Structure 1
């Protein structure tokens, strides 16, 4: 049996799909079909669902004629992810914004928005955003849980 930490050569995914919720769910399913531990699948699903759904909702503003390109490359230390789209750019202050919330308050007093970006920041390494030639380019690594690294 091959060690799950060793990527199979056919596991690198390169997907190009429309910017709609159904296509996002299909893309997530393909990523989750990679050889990943249960812990990795949970983190991958949270991070990619947040990133891809935000592209659909905010970058393309629910316009299904846009396209999303997703590349996922497994390695011994985690998944290297590259997401590209031609939608609206991220707000100027968001990519480097440190999002901190006091979660000890009453539920009704919690602030609106920003939790998704906080999750992406907390669950990834090397998060980088660039706007180049009308394209949003987001790259990051989803690290393998320490107990899964060989």
Structure 2
């Protein structure tokens, strides 16, 4: 994947290709209020502690968990692992929780937590398909299947 500078804000990214983008802050506020459920918690309030959910609704995500080719260091840019999709094109597996990624790909699978804005930019720029919370074969299972010893 080529390294290029992503847009500076979500608004600039969305407004590049969104024909019905809000034209003013008032319109944006009206749409956000309409999309927020009634009685939603105060964003400034301390979050309540609860057991982690294995899946989150896409609207709740600001980051997602993506398999990588290898572990990335703290100052390294992760190299996301692409998989072949059913139609033969490259696809990016995106998981809504780390628990789900590990459950489906194994605890040894390298991964990175990625901001959604970065993922949107990459898949749009490179025209990569995305599959949310897929069941994938691990590399070992793929090798065994190719040998006929699943």
**TM-score of the superposed pair, with normalisation by structure 2:** 0.23
Report which structure shows greater RCO (CA 8 Å, sep ≥6): 1
Report which of the two structures shows the higher radius of gyration computed on alpha carbons: 2
